[in-house]
Structure 1
Amino acid sequence: MTGMCAAPRRRRVTRTTTVVRTGLAALLALGAWVSAGAVPASATAGGPAPVAEEPLSPGLLSALQRDLGLTESQARERLAAERAAVAIEPKARSAAQGAYGGSWFDADSGRLTVAVADARKAAAVRATGAAVRIVEHSASRLDAAKRTIDTLAAPRGVGSWHVDPEANRIVVNVVRGERTDNDVAAFLDRARRAGPVQVREVAEAPRTFAAGTVGGDPYYTGNVRCSIGFSVHGGFVTAGHCGRPGAAVRGWDGTHIGTFQGSSFPDNDYAWVNVGSGWWTVPVVLGWGTVPDQLVRGSAEAPVGASICRSGSTTHWHCGSVLAKNETVNYSQGAVHQMTKTSVCAQPGDSGGSFISGDQAQGVTSGGWGNCSSGGQTWFQPVNEILARYGLRLHTA
């Protein structure tokens, strides 16, 4: 499908009222509500908060079992191992210094693996608790090559590209059957001149998924339905392709919420909307009855290989794994940079919705390929980048 904007669709008041009451009960106990007229924080950039070790939600465990094929005990063990990996990663990066080649979570071993381009740094990295793989290229070398590739005009047969620390290459994803196209071949030749490249085939070209301020809930701008990402103090963040600055935003019930205060697409795919007119911000992501509504407690970034879940107004709650970071995605409207790729499915109307790992906000849904019947992949724009760009502060419980 193309032009992934969903026509407006109303929901019954009873469902949203139930969801908001659930959030109210949890949040009133924490004193976490912000008034409708709150002013957005100005120049304070939102950084990652410490990873909270809260009791695991039975619904979250069930979703991981369903979407990742785990038993309950395996899901518990994996989440504990991912928390440990998040804590180790900055220490390992510091120990590797300029030889750092990237990192990923190995679900089989339950450990963080760190690529190191200098064997003399291996012992210091292992001392942090990470596994080590000696590689040829440092992350800085690969990142520089990717920045060069980012300057190239990509044909439609090229879906995306990113630095893959495990492969120690820039992986260029080409739509199946398009590799022999003259324009695609020319792009690959230029990319190889920039640095080490590996070509992989993908089933489809990526496209966007446009279709209260509770993550995953729908909102409307013009004739487009999208999904709320995360509440920030004074509004919420979402996808940039859902609206331009000044565009009016209506809530699930058709009433005015606010307007797009900032928006970028393509190049980036993020935006933020202010909240007023009786609406308020809530540090909650909808579980849509699949899992309990999830409180947002921070924005510590999950590593490649970690489990992750998504909430959106079309397909609701689905989980998968982080596949790649800092990937450049080549939409028909233009390239979007610094995206994170996941194995989670999505469909039209899910754009802008929440990606969350445990209780840590990860990013807002941008686009992808496939659907939630046959499967697919979805990209998100990392939330910490959005917070820093607009000087916003994440609303946390």
Structure 2
Amino acid sequence: MSRRRRHGLELAAGCTVAIAALFLGTGIPAVADPGEPSPRPRREVPPEMLASMQRDLGLTADEARARISNEYRAGAAEPGLRKTLGGAYAGAWVSGNTAELTVATTDAEQSATITAGGAKAAVVKHSLNALTEAKRALDSAAAERPPTAEAASAWYVDVKTNSVVVQSARPDEAAAFVAASGADRQVVRVVESPERPGPLYDLRGGEAYYINGAARCSIGFSVAQGDRNGFVTAGHCGDPGDTTTGSNRVAQGTFQGSSFPGNDYAWVSANADWAPRPWVVGPEGSDVTVDGSQEAPVGSSVCRSGSTTGWHCGTIQQHDTSVQYPQGTVSGVTRTNVCAEPGDSGGAFISGSEAQGVTSGGSGNCTVGGTTYYQPVNPVLTAYGLTLTTG
């Protein structure tokens, strides 16, 4: 647990004003503004987060720990600095592997106060209040008359450049949007960008998807093939090239491979709007996390998630079953006493937290009970060189 001490910095005017001091990389803790609540004790950083920072930010383990610590201190310091600098405050940010704090001000005379507090000072033209006012003008204009995504895909206060940035694929249209908003044009700058943001939807086992806008099946498990993400499902649900939409009818992906009869498996690559999740839709819409795909032995409990009947459980009766469908023989499937109904096809079978397979077919229903077969998942992963998304 970090320790904190308090002290004040005496200003030229003779009054004593408390300011949050930041000493980066020295082991000296930050001090909080006595007018602000004391920061909460900092929890230990999970090892998984440190490992991810090392991987994605190119840091050593010690650098990752130091950065987290300094970022925490910077966050604790910022409220005091903002309060002390008042209307001249123009934002704050950290940079570099050591997360060094920079504080911006429109008043050059405040630079000494900032550096005395352990941060770097940046003297800029526009206050944060001025930037925020311009951003609000853009927000109001967009609420009344939304720009196209090509004209303005995003806009934001950028304290590092002391401006409000408007991203646009068509700068001329963006300039017209800015002019119509009434925002201070000296504060706003347009940056050409091809970015087209869109909402991200989750891929979860058991949820519905539609094939070519018509027939419905269920997602099995999220998977990856190289830099492509998607999901596995039943082969009888679609052929290579068929397109899919999600349960929300938003464009989702394309069948990349499919085998039926003989086997009953397929995989769909999803577009960038869909995020693979290591989850299966469980009871009452809860998320059941997938940890692996270890095959469960005969007699094991197993549960199925599908878009028609939801979550149902039973036991594994036999592995390596051959079943005769009207379209032909499917071999190597597993027989269970779990019920299922049309539309559940392709949905996830899971035992504990281990993925077992995707729903193939069967008989009966969830009113009287029945027999359901699933295509084991491991042969699907092997056939297409897929990696299961796990938690």
Report the TM-score when normalising by structure 1. 0.46
* Structure showing the higher strand proportion among its residues: 2
Report the TM-score when normalising by structure 2. 0.47
Larger radius of gyration: 2
